[in-house]
Amino acid sequence: MRESGSKSKDEGKSKKTEHELHHDMNNGALVKLVDVHKTYRTGEMEVHAVRGVSFEIRRAEFVALMGASGSGKSTLMNILGCLDRPTSGRYVLDGSDVSGLDRDRLADIRNRKIGFVFQNFNLLPRTSARENVELPLVYSAQFLSTAQLREKADRVLASVGLAGREDHHPSQLSGGQQQRVAIARALINDPEIVLADEPTGNLDSRTSIEIMGIFQQLNERGITIVMVTHEQDIAAYAQRNVIMRDGVVLSDRVVTQRLNAAREIENVTTSTSDDGA
Amino acid sequence: MRSVLTALGIIIGVGAVIAMVGIGNGAKAQVETQIASLGQNVILIFSGSTTSSGIRTGWGGAGTLKIEDAEAIRREVSGVLGVSEEVVSTTQVAAGNQNWFTRVYGESADYFDIRQWPLADGAPFTPQDVRSANKVCVIGRTTATQVYGNEDPVGQILRIKEVPFTILGVLTPKGLSTQGVDQDDIVIMPYTSAMKRVIGGTNLRNISVQIGDGQQVEAAQQQIISLLRQRHNIRPGRDDDFTVRNQQEIAEAATETSRVMTVLLGAIAGVSLVVGGIGIMNIMLVSVTERTREIGVRMAVGAHGSDILTQFLIEAVTLSSVGGIIGIVCGIGASRILSIYAHWPTLISISSIAIAFLFSAAVGVFFGFYPARKAAALDPIEALRYE
């Protein structure tokens, strides 16, 4: 059953609920938040960043999480990413409750099940693209030989369009290329879910569309993506938009006018070639 | 570059210690060889009293040792293997038209065993020669070469202070002593002949006594002291008018300086390693701060606190160990240069290298721990947000 603090009406809502039930029985939700609260102290003050959020995310969904600053979206992302624990409420990821796990267990979950993409890429400087992509494997429990590590990293780099640049350092890569490396790193351990925090924040509009294109391709292959953004244009590439305000979910709806990155790229190309002066 | 500067503290500290330990060991070894060459289980008795710290005062000063003292020791002290009465002078020796100014030692026939100084050529003089005060002697390699050139001196006549002596043999070379004296520039004759014909006087400069069993040396020393006090009529409560030292004590006095130096070295080493360690801690703290975002990313992709701790600890240990190795190499190099150009003897032991390396690694662990723990304790969310 999909609970939500949703205030707006959705046309096919009742149908979805049935479909939802059916899905629940068969697949189970990948992410299930149940009345999650997060309160933290800054000095003397207590801040209630998240005040009772409940929703679910199914596999292969592409969700954009939006809201002004202070809406609690970043805090919620941190909880979704197992970087933080809810003060109360439950977070069930892939069938297991991760709300009360200790630091080391959370680290393991992040390593195996979650991939992160950040606004400022957060690549290791003076390190090759390949080694950056291999980083999560360094901390995973599986033992791969150097050759196997290398082969896997190269494969993932190729899948995001960076074949041939495996040895480049971040300083030798453009913003868009660096973000692709970051995406490859997020994918290396075959995560359940990819969390992207303002992934296009540091990129120009054309590169942003390219990155959205990669996300859409990944999503078509079945990868679940949750993306935080404050830009409507970028949110339109997702399937579903969840908007937060003051710590609660304001609206949660399917994107009606969804953009397709491949087409948008063409538009950008034609328009720039049209612009004469 | 920054790492090099940091490691400099360790490099200099370790290098200085290795070099100084090398010099100290070399000096000590050389002195020990010198003293060992005095012979095994040897007790030295010389005139004049000395304070316990010095052994140089009173050499032949007061002149209280008599020949009869030596004979009494031979007779009455247990465990005695050999006794040598010593008188010393420097004088002109000549053969043909070659002459040479050299040291003349009068000793007993036991001297060569006591001093473990064999002959390269010919034979030493005998107890009979000593009893008869015969005009015989043995000479050292330097004296032989100076007076006789390449000729064999054995059997030849050597005029010592115009008295003709027959050369019975040539001593094996011993080289320079620690004080820089040429030990082969010497003539040794029976002390009786020396006192009668060359030097005169009735007093001995010193008496060497060799004891057969190392265990008995202490007891023999006590016996000698009480015997001599009795013979010299020294009342209880009064100081001896002679000094008795066994080889051990002489060696210890000589190495006393090196022991003081070793303690000093230890202190310097300790201080320099602490300084080096603080440098490492400082640079690691800076490194942790600079790499806060990187630590956040590592944690985000699954690093445990312990993984981060280990990573930074290894970096600290690597820094200090490499500094240690460079320091060891520099120290050995400095040692070598000193031994070649300043002719100081040096001795680098494997154990001092191993200890220096272990200590520099330990400094890395100890001083790197705090920064590493700080890194591991970072909150990933805060770290990722760090500007």
pLDDT per residue as tens digits for the range A171-214: 999 999 999 999 999 999 999 999 999 999 999 989 999 999 99
Give counts: helices (H), strands (E), chain B: 12, 12
Nearest CA in chain A to B291: A124
- Partner-chain contact A139 B296, CB within 8 Å: no
Which of A41, A47, A139 would you mutate first to test chain B, the one with the most B CBs within 10 A?
A139
State the pLDDT confidence band at A22, using cuts at 50, 70 and 90.
Answer: very low
Q: Encoding tokens for residue A209?
A: 């569309």
Of A27, A3, A25, A24, nearest to A13 by C-alpha is: A3
Alpha carbon of B158 to those of B99, B137, B153, B166: distances in Å?
A: 10, 9, 9, 6
- Tens-digit pLDDT profile for residues B70-106: 888 888 888 888 888 888 888 888 888 888 899 999 9
Residues from chain A that touch B307, judged by Cβ atoms under 8 A, are 139
CB contact under 8 A, B302 and A118: no
Using CB atoms within 10 Å of the CB of residue B38, give its burial: 0 to 12 exposed, 13 to 18 middle, 19+ buried: middle
Report the residue of chain A nearest B305, measured CA to CA: A104
Q: Which ranges of B244-304 does DSSP label H, i.e. alpha helix? A: 247-290, 292-300
Q: Check whether B300 has a pLDDT greater than 80.
A: yes
Nearest to B302 among A108, A118, A122 (CB): A108
* Closest by Cβ to B299, choosing from A107, A118, A140: A107
Residue A16 has pLDDT above 70, yes or no: no
Read off the DSSP letter of residue A254.
E
> Which of B293, B300, B305 is facing A103, going by the closest CB pair?
B305
> Residue ranges per domain, chain A?
60-83+100-274
What share of chain B in percent tops pLDDT 90?
22
Nearest CB among A84, A107, A135 relative to B304 is that of A107
Q: How confident is the model at residue B61 (pLDDT cuts 50, 70, 90)?
A: very low
Residues A109 and B135: their CA atoms lie apart, in Å, by 102
What is residue B96's DSSP assignment?
T
pLDDT confidence band for A81 (50 / 70 / 90): very high
Distances in whole angstroms, Cα of residue A169 to Cα of each of A166, A186, A267 = 8, 18, 32
The CA distance from B278 to B320, in Å, is: 11
Work out the minimum CA distance from A115 to partner chain B, whole angstroms: 7
Which of A:173-202 have CB within 8 Å of B? 185
Chain B residues within 8 A of A139 when measuring between CB atoms: 298, 301-304, 307
Res. B376: pLDDT tops 90: yes
Tokens of B171: 């001593």
The least confident of A243-247, B294-298, B356-360 is B356-360
Q: Which of A118, A122, A140 sits opposite B302 (nearest CB)?
A: A140
Determine, for residues A103 and B300 on separate chains, whether the beta-carbon distance falls below 8 Å. no
Chain B residues lying within 8 Å of A107, measured CB to CB? 299, 302-304
| Contact residues, chain A, for B294 at CB < 8 Å | 122, 124
**Cβ contacts (< 8 Å) between B298 and chain A: which residues?**
135, 139
Tell me what the pLDDT averaged over chain B comes to: 84
Instruction: Give the integer Cα–Cα distance in Å for A263 and A267.
Output: 6
pLDDT at A27: 55
Q: Give residue-wise pLDDT tens across range A203-255.
A: 998 999 999 999 999 999 999 999 999 899 999 999 999 999 999 999 999 99
Cα angle: B106, vertex B112, B118; to 5 degrees: 130
d(Cα B218, Cα B245) in Å, to the nearest integer?
Answer: 10
Helix and strand element counts for chain A (H, E): 9, 10
Closest residue in chain A to residue B304, using alpha carbons only: A104
Residue contact A139–B303, C-beta within 8 A: yes
What CA–CA distance (Å, rounded) separates B26 from B342? 13
DSSP letter, residue A102 = -
Q: In terms of CA atoms, which chain A residue is nearest residue B307?
A: A139
3-state secondary structure of B210: strand
A149 by DSSP, 3-state: which?
helix
- Supply the pLDDT for residue B62: 53
Distance from CA of A127 to the nearest CA of B (A): 12
Instruction: Report the C-alpha gap between A276 and B165 in whole angstroms.
Output: 123
- Is the minimum CB–CB distance between A84 and chain B shorter than 8 Å? yes
Q: Contacts of residue A182 in chain B, CB cutoff 8 Å?
A: none
**Which residue blocks in chain B are alpha helix, DSSP H?**
2-36, 67-76, 111-114, 127-132, 141-148, 191-193, 217-231, 247-290, 292-300, 305-341, 350-376, 380-385
On whether the CB atoms of residues B42 and B86 are closer than 8 A, the answer is: no
The residues near B298 (Cβ < 8 Å, ≥ 6 apart) are: A135, A139, B307, B308
Q: How far apart are CA B94 and CA B146, in angstroms?
A: 10
pLDDT tens per residue across span A37-61: 999 888 888 889 999 999 999 999 9
Nearest CB neighbour to B302, from listed A111, A118, A122? A111
* A113, containing H or E segment: helix A103-113
| DSSP run (H or E) holding B94 | strand B80-95
Contact residues, A window 106-125, toward B, CB-based 8 Å cutoff: 107-108, 110-112, 116, 118, 122, 124
Q: Residue B50: its pLDDT value, please? A: 59
The answer for A 205-264 residues in CB contact with B (under 8 A) is none
A60-83+100-274 belongs to CATH 3.20.20.80: no
Percent of chain A beyond pLDDT 70? 87
- What pLDDT was estimated at residue A7? 45
CA distance B293 to chain A (A): 7
Mean pLDDT of chain A: 86
pLDDT of residue B203: 85
Calpha distance B238→B372 (Å, rounded): 68
Give the closest residue to A168 by CA, choosing from A207, A224, A129. A129
Question: Residue A26 has what pLDDT?
Answer: 41
A47 touches chain B (CB under 8 A): no
Partners of residue B381 in chain A, C-beta under 8 Å: 78, 83-84
**B46 confidence band (pLDDT: 50, 70, 90):** confident
Cα–Cα distance for residue pair B240/B229, rounded to 1 Å: 7
Tokens of residue A219, six digits: 């999503």
Q: A38 touching B, CB under 8 A?
A: no
> For chain B, which residues make up each domain, given as ranges?
2-32+252-385, 65-240
